[in-house]
Amino acid sequence: MKRSRYFELFSVLIILFVSLVLYWNPLFSGKPLGLDALGHLSKISYLQEFGLGVKWDLAWYAGAPFLAYYSPLYYWLGYFFSDIIFGANFLQFLSIVLTASGVFFLIFYYSKNEIYSLIFSLFFLSVLCTSYYFIAVGNSPYVFGIFTIPFTLLFLEKSLENKKYNFLFYSLFFVLAYLTHIFMALVLFLLVTLRISIYCYFNEKKFIKEAVRKNLIYLLLPLLISAFWFFPFLSKSESFIGDGLGYVPIPHHLFGFGDYTIWGKAPGEIGILFGLFLVSLFFIKKYFKEKNEKIMFLTISSVLLFLLLEGILGKFYPTGVGAIRFILPFSILACVFSGVIFSKKFENTKVVSLLVILLLIALFLNYKTVDENYEKYSYNSEYDRYGLVDSVYSAEKFPLKNNFSNYRFGTSRYIFSETLNYKFPRQSQTWGYFDQGILYPEELNKFKEVVWHSESLEETLNYLDNYGIKYFEIGGQDLDFDKKFNNGKFSLVLEKNFSDYPFKIYEYKNAKPIISVIFENKSYEDYSEYSVIRENPDNVIVEYNFSGEENILFKESFHNSWKAKDLQTNKKIKIEKTEEGFMILIPEENTKQVLLYQSKTPLQKIGIIFSLLGTLLAIFYSIKKKN
């Protein structure tokens, strides 16, 4: 084994050791960490309950395609952990280790300097905002996706040198970006386009023609491979552009000053690394004169990500992104750029010694930041979210169980809904972690206002009926509106007066079911006259002696993936969309059993075909490249 191989192994072990020192407590906490953690964990719980192939989500107020709006890989991997909570925390920790390791290999590829590669890879572990996303926000797929950036760029560089099979590894990591977090794919799309364009400018005679050709190959093939998920995702992302600027960190926040908090500590803080990045910019003039394409790429790409972090797109940031999202990708590029510049500019031991001292200070400051986010902002106190519901869900009067009851449980706050989605995957909910692209979000917000904030009992009853709610919780500041529930139509099931979140659970005695048989005059048939069998979200059987005059009302969002048929004759039954966006079926006379089931849409089938085609093309292109 060559010396560099020993050093590479040593460096990865050092990265792992420092990561464990920083994140030992969160990793082995046994807690779902962060504000949004339970929303993500509920998806993994759902997969473990129903299997990897499940297509429909009961957790949302009226049903939604499962994982259609979220890249699925993080949830698929979480499925294989017997302890979901540890699995979720481990996957994020693993990504942090892999990202720092990827930074090391990328700097070493550019600079061939072992010491600087190790120092600046460890500087990534000093980035203060990392624990904010991991521990305070709980943005699990985002943290898990960051490792795809350095490894995609590493194998892109190797592939551009025509090294055999490296295009396959490049494609693999780019595809992982699509399947882990769509934002990472967006960042890589920008970086790959920039890198290939610079490469063609310096190495190809027909610059424009070759830049277009190579960009098509390098961008299109990973997209095609991920098409089985990405194509359907695009069809559901109706408002991808124009979400707004969001939080933009001011300069002293980037240095780590200011003690600014929003759901946690250090949302826009990088630390000492940002100072080293600024210092590195003073030395780039020489390399631009020398037309060093790799340093030109690192300079332009890191500056571009910095400008995106500082809000250059204004109100035109993609839905759900915001400027602050670019802080971790920028930190990765800042490490690589600074590491390469310092390795070329400073070779004396005094600079190395100074960098080591700064690194130790930076790591210590991040250790304190990680600890503070864990102690104060992990959202896991005794009566906060997971702890609160854990203390009451097994109470004697608690009305919900983990089974389909043909009614929904209504919640007014994430505190209840996200935890119940995690604990009771079979129980339909009316509120939960808010998916990007969820159907009819304006209706969901109106629903919340009318049920819990309106003083009109008539409006409230109408919404409870429309959404099939039998039990509901009202808590926190919403308790000011609970007076209207003190009448004969409701009964108080459970009441708790936790100081952080007092709440009451009511039963609506005249609740209407989610799936029902109704006459044309809209009157509901007695529930005892028909039965609904739903052991899986994707399959519903309605049993009733239909005369041809009744309808089946299915109060879940209309989607073209739903199909229906007569179970005895296999004759298809048309599904129509109601004014509220639900589904209605009209079975023929003498129908006794109707099956509603999920099927692949034409776009999903096309996506699978393109994924297979993209994989074959990537293999072919990689094999034909020269050694």
**End-to-end Cα separation, the chain, in angstroms:** 22
Q: Which two tokens stand for residue 506?
A: 């009511």
CA distance 93 to 101: 12
Query: What pLDDT is stored for residue 1 in this prediction?
Result: 47
CA dihedral 419, 424, 425, 429 (to 10 degrees): -70
How many whole angstroms separate alpha carbon 365 and alpha carbon 17? Answer: 17
pLDDT tens track for 3-35: 678 999 999 999 999 999 999 999 999 999 998
Question: With contact defined as beta carbons under 8 Å apart, do 147 and 184 qualify?
Answer: no
- Structure tokens belonging to residue 388: 């609160």
Instruction: List helix spans (H) across 480-601.
Output: none
Nearest to 417 by CA among 59, 54, 33: 59
Amino acid at 593: Q
The residue among 49, 30, 29 whose CA lies nearest residue 422 is 49
Per residue in 289-336, pLDDT (tens digit) is 999 999 999 999 999 999 999 999 988 888 778 899 999 999 999 999
- Give the CA angle between residues 394, 395, 400 to the nearest 5°: 65
pTM of the model: 0.94
Structure tokens at 492: 């108080």
**pLDDT given at position 63:** 85
What is the per-residue pLDDT for 482?
84
3-state SS of 279-314?
HHHCCCHHHHHCCCHHHHHHHHHHHHHHHHHCCCCH
**pLDDT given at position 123:** 98
Distance CA 559, CA 596 (A): 12
User: 348-353, long-range: CB within 8 Å, 24+ apart, which pairs?
Assistant: 352/115, 352/116, 352/119
DSSP letter (8 states) at residue 429: B
pLDDT at residue 27 in the model: 97
What residue ranges of the chain have pLDDT lower than 50? 1, 436-437, 439, 627
Question: CA-CA distances (angstroms) from residue 250 to 239, 253, 269, 471?
Answer: 28, 5, 9, 46
515-600 — its CATH code? 2.60.40
* Local structure of 369: helix, strand or coil: helix
CB contact at 8 A, 102 and 328: no
- 154 touches 102 (CB < 8 A): yes
Which DSSP category does 318 fall into? B
Q: 492-497 long-range CB contacts below 8 Å, 24 or more apart?
A: 493/397, 493/398, 493/399, 494/392, 494/395, 494/397, 494/398, 494/399, 496/392
Q: Where do the domains of the chain lie? A: 3-30+83-377, 390-508, 515-600
pLDDT at 525: 55
